[in-house]
Chains A and B, each alone.
Chain A
Amino acid sequence: MSNEAVLLKADNLSRIDPVNKSVLVKSASCIIHRGDRVVLSGSSGSGKSVFCRLLALLDQPDQGSIVFNGQSVKQEDIPYYRSKVAYIRQRPVLLRGTVQENLMFPFALHINRAHRFNPEKIARFLSLIDKPDSFLKKNAADLSGGERQLVCLLRVLQLDPDILLLDEPTSALDKDMAMQVELLINKWMHLHDETRAYVWISHDEQQKKRVGQQVWYMSAGVLTTGAV
């Protein structure tokens, strides 16, 4: 694959537990290309989550570097970087208010000051997952767990990220809801002609087969990608 297709390159990322000093992730390196659909596999506590948080720079790596779109990420660019390399957690977090208000609030952030909430874009996403427009008027507190996760995804997808870091987004959902989440992400990949990418942490063997085109393994903090 050509160099232009490389979205993100991580070199020797390490993370030590700040409290008990044990090694959580040891010199993990990886390359994410446009169009990559990666499943990150490994037992609980092996460091998958920590690694994804490192990739999102939600935790500061103790060692290593990240090059995104050909440039190393500088301190002042981290908010921008996070809006492009979006981390999605297992437990969806919504603010008080309606679904629409939850979708609009990211535009109040400094990083998105040049962008406006785009109702048509949201309507297109909603039609992909067969949700009526009235869904936007619902109170966030009345949503099911699956619907909450869908809102979280819409909130991220509307901002047009390059990479999704999906930290078990469906593990607390029933199968139908999980399929909806998969569907939405799959449609999003198609919508952008496979120029985006994701890393998906999953424990569900069936799901891994459905969403992964390549598998990375994490074991006791050591990452194996097969590619690097």
Chain B
Amino acid sequence: MPAYIEISYLDMAVASLLVLANGLISVVLKLKLEKSLLVSAVRMVVQLLLIGTILKWVFSVDKWYVVMFIIGIMTFIAGMAAYNRNRFQYGGMRIDTLVSVWVSSWLVAILGLVVVLQVQPWYTPQYVIPIMGMILGNTLTGVSLGLDRITHELVQKREQVEMLLSLGATRWEAYKEPAQNAVMAGMMPTINSMMVIGLVSLPGMMTGQILAGQDPEQAIRYQIIVMFFLSAASSMGCVLVVAFVFKRLFSKSHTFMYWKLQEK
């Protein structure tokens, strides 16, 4: 197996010079992006170093409650991010997004880690944290896309929804088409990425394992099961949030409570 090359601080400093090229482009083309570039580069470094330190600590402590605490925070941040990526809101949207992200990602993670990978002990941070991170990232996308689409559909198609209701449609019949569109919107990115994976880009996890000296075949097997986790979690999250929106905006007496939906 080829030797694994360790990266020193000096190596990082040299690589950071490359960002100067971006700065140069920004100055020449008068894009005024120098400040954002600097801030984002510094944030990237600080955030990753911080995470590195935390992960190192979590790995060394190796306690289930510490792992749970960390993935709890990760879940919360993902839920909030899914909420923030929206232009419309209704009372209870924050909790709906959070629960959608939480339930779907944790359910898939439990299935994946315990049933498929059979990680021993179940909380082994080396597996739990990176896999949870990938699942959460995708669930966040699925939930936020689904939520964004359903709220837009409902605002745009308010008259159509009401037309259906006034013809005697049940609340679900009136909601069906917007819901289908939203779930489709939430699932498309995962389907598209599975379609071209390996052809257009090599996924990060697989690349990482190969760089670390892992057998490419094993790395690919990992990637395959992870892709299944990701697609399951993101579509489940999307379906959940679309169901929550239904509960919030359609009353039992089959009325569409459109006024609850407001621009942020």
A binds B: yes
Residue of A nearest to B177 (CB): A95
Q: Is the CB of A89 within 8 A of B159?
A: yes
Q: Is B167 an interface residue (CB 8 A)?
A: yes
User: Size class of B's contact patch?
Assistant: 20 to 34
| Contact pick for B255, options A59, A93, A152, A155, CB 8 Å | A59
**Most B C-beta atoms less than 10 A away, residue of A78, A79, A93, A111:** A79
Contact: B253 with A156, CB < 8 Å? no
Contact call B162/A79, Cβ cutoff below 8 A: no
Asked whether A89 and B255 contact (CB < 8 A) given A83-B168, A109-B167, the answer is: no
Of A19, A56, A111, the residue contacting B169 (CB under 8 A) is A111
Given contacts A18-B257, A57-B253, A60-B251, contact A79 B169 (CB under 8 A): yes
B167, A159: Cβ atoms closer than 8 Å: yes
Say whether A91 faces chain B, with CB atoms less than 8 Å apart: yes
User: Which residues on the B side are within 8 Å of A79 (C-beta)?
Assistant: 165, 168-170, 254
Per a CB cutoff under 8 Å, which of B160, B168, B169, B259 touches A18? B259
Query: Taking the complex as formed, is B163 at the interface, i.e. its CB lies under 8 A from any CB of chain A?
Result: yes
Does the CB pair A75–B253 fall under 8 Å? yes
Q: Shortest Cβ distance from B205 into chain A, in angstroms?
A: 42
Q: Which of chain B's residues have a CB closer than 8 A to the CB of A83?
A: 167-168
Which of B160, B255, B259 is A58 in contact with, Cβ under 8 Å? B255
Which residues does chain A contribute within 8 Å of B254, judged by CB atoms? 57, 78-79, 82
A-B contact count (CB 8 A): 67
- Residues on A with C-beta less than 8 A from B169 are 79, 109-111
Q: Is B173 located at the chain interface by the 8 A CB criterion? A: yes
Of all chain A residues, the one with the shortest Cβ separation from B257 is A18
B252 at the A/B interface (Cβ < 8 Å)? yes
A80 near B251 with CB under 8 A, answer: no
In the complex, what distance in Å separates the CA atom of A151 from the CA atom of B93?
Answer: 38
**Which range contains the number of A residues in contact with the other chain?**
20 to 34
B167, B252, B253, B260: which has the most chain A beta carbons within 10 Å?
B167
CB neighbors of A among B41-60 (8 A): none
How would you classify the secondary structure of chain A's contact residues: helix, strand, loop or mixed? mixed
- A171 in the interface (beta carbon within 8 A): no
Q: How far is the CB of B88 from chain A (nearest CB, A)?
A: 15
Chain B 157-190 interface residues, beta-carbon cutoff 8 Å to A: 159-160, 162-170, 173
**Per-residue CB proximity of A31-60 to B under 8 Å, as 1/0?**
000000000000000000000000011111
Q: Which residue of A lies closest to B164 (CB)?
A: A109
Chain A residues with CB under 8 A of B260? 18
Collect the chain A residues with CB atoms within 8 Å of residue B163's CB: 89, 93, 152
**Structural contact, A82 and B165, CB atoms closer than 8 A:** yes
Residues in B neighbouring A111, C-beta threshold 8 A? 168-170
Task: With CB as the reference atom, state the residue of chain B lying closest to A75.
Answer: B253
Q: Are B252 and A75 in contact (CB under 8 A)?
A: yes
User: Could you mark each residue 81-93 of chain A with 1 if its beta carbon is under 8 Å from any beta carbon of chain B, else 0?
Assistant: 0110011110101
Closest approach, in angstroms, between the C-beta of A118 and any C-beta of chain B?
Answer: 16
Q: Which residues of A contact B170 (CB under 8 A)?
A: 79, 109-111
Given contacts A18-B259, A60-B255, A75-B253, contact A80 B160 (CB under 8 A): no
Q: Establish whether residues B160 and A93, one from each chain, have CB atoms under 8 Å apart when the complex forms.
A: yes
CA distance A111 to B162 in the complex (A): 16
Instruction: State how many angstroms separate the Cβ of A158 from the closest Cβ of chain B.
Output: 11
Docked-complex contact B168 and A58, CB < 8 angstroms:
no
Q: Which residue of B lies closest to A88 (CB)?
A: B166
Hey, which chain B residues are within 8 Å of A156, CB to CB? 167
B166 nearest CB neighbor, chain A only = A87
Residue interface mask A74-116, B partner, CB < 8 A = 1: 0100111011001111010101000000000010011110000
By a beta-carbon cutoff of 8 Å, the part of chain A in contact with chain B is 18-19, 56-60, 75, 78-80, 82-83, 86-89, 91, 93, 95, 106, 109-112, 152, 155-156, 159
- Which residues from chain B sit less than 8 Å from chain A, CB to CB? 159-160, 162-170, 173, 251-257, 259-260
What are 21 A-B pairs with beta-carbon distances under 8 A? A18-B257, A18-B259, A18-B260, A19-B259, A57-B253, A57-B254, A57-B255, A58-B165, A79-B168, A79-B254, A82-B165, A82-B254, A86-B166, A88-B166, A89-B159, A106-B167, A109-B164, A109-B167, A110-B169, A111-B170, A159-B167
